[in-house]
Chain A
């Protein structure tokens, strides 16, 4: 009477093991995805992935070969204005096969869009999917056009931080 009971248990164990292996194989990708967001969050908190215009102009003037500027705006905007030596990879096409080897090469890429929000999101997206060595230009093309025009002429110091408050905080609550 005890024997068939144990056989049944054995069968359940085998089935569970098979099921477990099967489901863990299926879900391992999703699990990784989840942890990656948390790792990315820690990375964002502990280090910066921004390059301010000042630093970018230094890079340009010293002609550092290890850096490359990547303009993720559309070709029309790129033709209209772009940073010297920048390569145009429109964000719509950033995941296309033709750019994989470019994104994977050793050079440090400095992404920029009109402001910094899109470049920042694209950087996160690419980091999430395994690319490294990516930075974002603070202020983007708009700030550059307004203030940095050529690498020798600065209207401002080039210290731009998107998260800096641009006005006096007390004005927000001003009454009378």
Chain B
């Protein structure tokens, strides 16, 4: 009689453990193929270099840059405030609190967009929220923020405003021309209001 009791007790505890386990596994929300396809097409997960530069200039705490390149590349150069999670370590337990969270916007970046978009796809598939891609990666960062192209005059006022904002940003990130051009400092703050609406669009994903 006592043996049967112990046996039952073991079974009950086993059952309880087993019943709780799978529930932990699916705490994240599953997307089906069509939803994922829609998300890819909506492009709400792309953050432009202008928007990112702006966030960095304004010290916006909402954004967390994540550098997916190797440690060597990261040490050589990285964007301000970024942390390094080499792509192959993306799902290592130590980084889980960073990539599976709801507090901040993670912005993945690499030299191009391959690593960042793959990281986005994988985290999306696992149901993690708040992950984004820096559009064009460091290559685009360079051609838009560090060495912005001078717009042709036919591009109109908006293009010129963009360009001025970028020059301000360039100065912020490289320190170039800081001494002789004090007025550029105010330019750096320019894009604040204008770019905000784009960020709202990416809110629910």
Could you list which residues of chain A lie within 8 angstroms of chain B, going by C-beta atoms?
2, 5-6, 9-10, 12-13, 16-17, 19-20, 23-24, 27, 29-31, 33-34, 36-38, 40-41, 44-45, 50, 91-92, 94-95, 115-118, 120-122, 124-125, 128-129, 161-167, 169, 171-176
Q: B87 near A31 (CB under 8 angstroms)? A: no
Q: B77 near A172 (CB under 8 angstroms)? A: yes
Main secondary structure on B side of the interface with A:
helix
Main secondary structure on A side of the interface with B:
helix
Within 8 A of A (CB), among B117-139: 117-118, 120-123, 125-126, 137-139
> Which residues of A lie under 8 Å from residue B87 when comparing CB positions?
44-45
Which of B4, B25, B113, B141 is the one whose CB lies under 8 Å from A117? Answer: B113
Q: B126 near A118 (CB under 8 angstroms)? A: no
Report the Cα distance A10→B15, complex, angstroms. 12
Which of B5, B8, B139 is the one whose CB lies under 8 Å from A167? Answer: B139
> Which residues of A lie under 8 Å from residue B137 when comparing CB positions?
163
> Which residues of A lie under 8 Å from residue B139 when comparing CB positions?
165-167
Determine whether B12 belongs to the interface, using a CB cutoff of 8 Å to chain A: yes
Given A2-B1, A19-B19, A162-B111, 8 extra CB contacts under 8 A: A27-B23, A27-B26, A40-B122, A44-B122, A117-B114, A122-B40, A162-B113, A164-B112
Q: B33 near A171 (CB under 8 angstroms)? A: no
Q: A91-B37, A171-B146 are in contact. Are A12 and B12 (CB under 8 A)?
A: yes
> Which residues of B lie under 8 Å from residue A12 when comparing CB positions?
12, 15
> Which residues of B lie under 8 Å from residue A172 when comparing CB positions?
77, 138, 141-142, 146, 173-174
Determine whether B11 belongs to the interface, using a CB cutoff of 8 Å to chain A: yes
How large, as a class, is the contact surface on chain B? 35 or more
Q: Mind listing 14 A-B residue pairs with CB under 8 Å?
A: A6-B5, A23-B22, A27-B23, A31-B26, A41-B90, A41-B122, A91-B37, A95-B34, A124-B122, A163-B110, A163-B112, A166-B143, A171-B146, A176-B176
> Which residues of A lie under 8 Å from residue B9 when comparing CB positions?
9
Q: A125 near B40 (CB under 8 angstroms)? A: yes
Query: Which residue of B is nearest A166, CB measured?
Result: B139
> Which residues of A lie under 8 Å from residue B8 when comparing CB positions?
6, 9-10, 13
Determine whether B88 belongs to the interface, using a CB cutoff of 8 Å to chain A: yes
Q: How far is the CB of B123 from chain A (nearest CB, A)?
A: 8
Q: B114 near A120 (CB under 8 angstroms)? A: yes
> Which residues of A lie under 8 Å from residue B76 when comparing CB positions?
169
Q: How far is the CB of B120 from chain A (nearest CB, A)?
A: 8
